[in-house]
A and B are shown apart, each in its own frame.
Chain A
Amino acid sequence: QVQLVQSGAEVRKPGASVKVSCKASGYTFTSYHIHWVRQAPGHGLEWMGIINPSGGTTSYAQKFHGRVTMTSDTSTSTVYMELSSLKSEDTAVYYCARKPNRGGLVATDYWGQGTLVTVSS
C-alpha cells in the first residue's frame, strides 16, 4: 500500500535551518511528483512547492524562494524539504503529499502524517 512517512518533530532556534524527510513506499517513487504544504497552528493550508523525484525538478512558491530547497534521493525513495533562516512564523505542521498522474496539478491522493516544526528561542 502507498505510504508517505515523514520524519519526527523538530525544534529550532530563529535563524537556523530544518530538513524534513518524506519516505515513500508502495509505488514507483520516480513516477509521481510530491507537494509540500504547511499549516501553522490554528491557520489554513499554505503551499510551499512541488518536486519531481525523477530528475529533481522543482517549483517553489514565490513566498519561499531563496529559503526553501526540495530534493529527492531515488536510492532511498525519500524527498526532503529544507527551510532556512527560520522565523517564529515558520512554526507549523509540514506535510508532503503525492500528486496523482491524473486530476491536475493541484490534486493529491496520499499524504504524510505531518511533521511539527517549532521555531522558538
Chain B
Amino acid sequence: QSVLTQPPSASGTPGQRVTISCSGSSSSIGSNTVYWYQQLPRTAPKLLIYMNNQRPSGVPDRFSGSKSGTSASLAISGLQSEDEADYYCASWDDSLNGVVFGGGTKLTVL
C-alpha cells in the first residue's frame, strides 16, 4: 500500500490531453512539493516534474504539473505514442521522514 495514491491506469489517443492524479496527506503533499517520474519499459525512471510544476531541461512543455492542498496532477497534452510509460508521483513525508512514491500509473496510448 503506497503512501501516495494514484490510479493504476490511464489511457488516451494520440493528440489528446490526459491527466494523472496523486493523492497524499497533510504530512506529504500538504507540506511538501511534488515530483513526477516517467519510467519507460525496462529503463530507469526519469524526472519529469520537480517542485510541483517545474520541468527539467529537455522535458517537453507538453508535460505540466500542478498541486492543490494534499493532491497533485500531471497533465500530458498532445499525447504521443512514446508517452506510453509508467508515471510515478513522489514527495517528502514529514511523518515518515523520507521520500514516498505513489503506486504508479500505467499510461496506454490507444
Contact = CB atoms under 8 A, between A and B. Distances in A.
Interface residues of B, number: 27
A2 interface: no
A46 B101 contact: yes
5 contacts: A47-B98, A47-B100, A62-B98, A103-B54, A113-B44
Interface of A: 35, 37, 44-47, 49-50, 59-62, 95, 97, 103-109, 111-114
A61 B99 contact: yes
Given A44-B104, A62-B97, A62-B98, A109 B56 contact: yes
Contact of A111 (B2, B44, B88): B44
A106 B98 contact: no
Contacts, number: 69
B45 to A, nearest CB: 6
Interface in B22-41: 33, 35, 37, 39
Interface in B80-108: 86, 88, 90-92, 96-104
A107 B102 CA distance: 15
Nearest to A103: B50
A50 B91 CA distance: 14
Interface in B49-93: 50-51, 54, 56, 86, 88, 90-92
